[in-house]
Amino acid sequence: MATETQAPRAAAHITEPIVRDRIYIGGEWVASAGDASIEVLDSTTEQVIGTVPEGTAADVDLAVTSGHAGFEAWSQVPMGERAEACRAISAGLAQRAEELALLIACEVGMPIGQAAAIQAGLPAMDFGAAPEALEEIAWEEQVGNSLIVREPVGVVGAITPWNYPLHQICAKVAPALAAGCSIVVKPSEVTPLSAFVLAEIIDEIGLPPGAFNLVTGFGPVVGEAIAAHPDVDMVSFTGSTRAGRRVSEVAAGTVKRVALELGGKSANVVLDDADLITAVSYGVGNCFLNSGQTCSAHTRMLVPRAKLAEAEAIAAAAAEKSTIGDPLDPATRLGPLVSDAHREHVRDYIRKGEAEGAKLVAGGADAPEDLESGYFVRPTVFSEVKPDMAIAQEEIFGPVLSIIPYDDEDEAVEIANGTVYGLDGGVWSSDPEHAKSVARRMRTGQVQINGATFNPVAPFGGVKQSGNGRELGKFGLEEFLDVKSIQL
């Protein structure tokens, strides 16, 4: 499995725009049916660093038609060969890791060292883990007089977000291809450049034409066309809960399968017996990863009321250490947000928190000093946050932490479960068994105990309005399979 990546030795911002004037359909680079293009901006310099085609519904139709032909061929390829293809794609991604880290650091704003490990490293792991997941599936089993077989679902439409652009694509493409499906991918129009690198690697591997297709464009056009298309058998969507509702509505017209990985407002429960300095410091870092542009970020920190003042001081100090700046500067710990519109969205929430009466202990809505360009927001910590405040209920998607006091453990669990979301969470305690007992009471797709490491092959997904279905590992592969009973 190709998992090791290194930060680039030296990096500079992209100055010569990358022109991508073709989409990838049927194993070929073809012109879009439309003649418009989309500009891609560097989130630090605010300059155009690339252009991609503004795809159309006609492009989607062609891609789906090609996808059907690709499915007929690819689904018949032996599993061992599909596994080898995934290994080859993983190796190709690892070879281009430095290029990918720079692209995504410029687009999204994640510091380059983290981008190398996460934004470039995880996609290679997604494909590298697929062969092992194939081995864990019960492809055939006997139940009474029935033979139960698992088969690829068919043509998959993948609609992906901007915050972890390539990982969110590969977390869908790798298991779909491993399962024997064909796929049509629509990357985010905000951060699409890394998707073209993946398409180039797949093109070099030489999959059957139509097994993988890439159509860039806007959600209301390309995304809706994918979700509505009668010949798309399944849609896998990652993005906001609002957009996920729309995908479900459109897909319902043809009763296709829909997998959704949506928003979150995850609670980090610090129990009374936890190491407060470690728990709070780690919790701030978790909340601020990728400048808070992470669906699973622990944006609500629940602490015992008696320890609130101490937690505030620790969190404020941690926020102060979150050096803001150019993501290509090794000293930077917090880069910009992805766009001007998103920056204003996050600042509006900071203002709303102050207006609601939350206590501002670090940061604020004012622009950071000494940064002439870039979509920066100061790392912000609120305390004395009430559970019903907007900043405690709604996904902000920026470096904004809400510290919420509680009086007893039952209240902590009630607060943790008291949002429409259920994607992630954390529990901190000096007694791991005690922490696990609390974790079991939390209605969420995953929980980290005492800052446990993210597992890239464990099932990832949410409950309630954080979505349905799971990604990664064996469980992610199963999403792309149908179950058939053959009576004997």
The CA–CA distances, whole Å, from 66 to 23, 27, 163 equal: 13, 9, 29
Same structural domain, 336 and 196: no
The reply to whether 415 falls in a domain is yes
Same structural domain, 238 and 288: no
The reply to whether 245 falls in a domain is yes
Same structural domain, 257 and 295: no
Q: Which residues are catalytic?
A: 261, 295
Same structural domain, 321 and 273: yes
Report pLDDT for 164: 98
The reply to whether 460 falls in a domain is no
Same structural domain, 113 and 87: yes
- CATH number assigned to the domain comprising residue 172: 3.40.605.10
pTM: 0.96
The CA–CA distances, whole Å, from 107 to 119, 190, 197 equal: 11, 8, 14
The reply to whether 199 falls in a domain is yes
For the chain, the domain total comes to 2
**pLDDT tens for each residue of the chain, 488 residues long:** 333 334 444 579 999 999 999 999 999 999 999 999 999 999 999 999 999 999 999 999 999 999 999 999 999 999 999 999 999 999 999 999 999 999 999 999 999 999 999 999 999 999 999 999 999 999 999 999 999 999 999 999 999 999 999 999 999 999 999 999 999 999 999 999 999 999 999 999 999 999 999 999 999 999 999 999 999 999 999 999 999 999 999 999 999 999 999 999 999 999 999 999 999 999 999 999 999 999 999 999 999 999 999 999 999 999 999 999 999 999 999 999 999 999 999 999 999 999 999 999 999 999 998 898 999 999 999 999 999 999 999 999 999 999 999 999 999 999 999 999 999 999 999 999 999 999 999 999 999 999 999 999 999 999 999 999 999 999 999 999 999 999 99
The reply to whether 384 falls in a domain is yes
Closest CA to 224 of 243, 198, 205: 243
Same structural domain, 255 and 272: no
Report pLDDT for 41: 98
Domain of 213 in residue numbering reads as: 18-262+465-487
Report pLDDT for 7: 40
DSSP string, 140-158: EEEETTEEEEEEE--EEEE
- CATH number assigned to the domain comprising residue 370: 3.40.309.10
Same structural domain, 70 and 99: yes
The reply to whether 3 falls in a domain is no
Same structural domain, 277 and 254: no
Same structural domain, 226 and 311: no
Q: What region, left, alpha or beta, does residue 239 occupy, with left being phi > 0 and alpha being psi -120 to 50 degrees? A: left
Strands of the sheet containing 257-261, edge to edge, are 28-30, 23-25, 212-214, 182-186, 155-159, 234-238, 257-261, 467-468
The CA–CA distances, whole Å, from 294 to 112, 237, 397 equal: 17, 16, 7
* Buried/exposed code over 395-414 (b: 16+ C-beta within 10 A; e: otherwise): bbbbbbbbbbbbeebebbbe
DSSP 460: B
Name the 3-class secondary structure at 184: strand
Same structural domain, 414 and 470: no
C-beta of residue 20 within 8 angstroms of C-beta of residue 204:
no
Report pLDDT for 5: 39
Same structural domain, 258 and 271: no
Report pLDDT for 11: 77
Name the 3-class secondary structure at 51: strand
Report pLDDT for 2: 37
DSSP string, 230-241: TT--EEEEES-H
The reply to whether 12 falls in a domain is no
C-beta of residue 166 within 8 angstroms of C-beta of residue 184:
no
Report pLDDT for 10: 53
Same structural domain, 200 and 76: yes
The reply to whether 4 falls in a domain is no
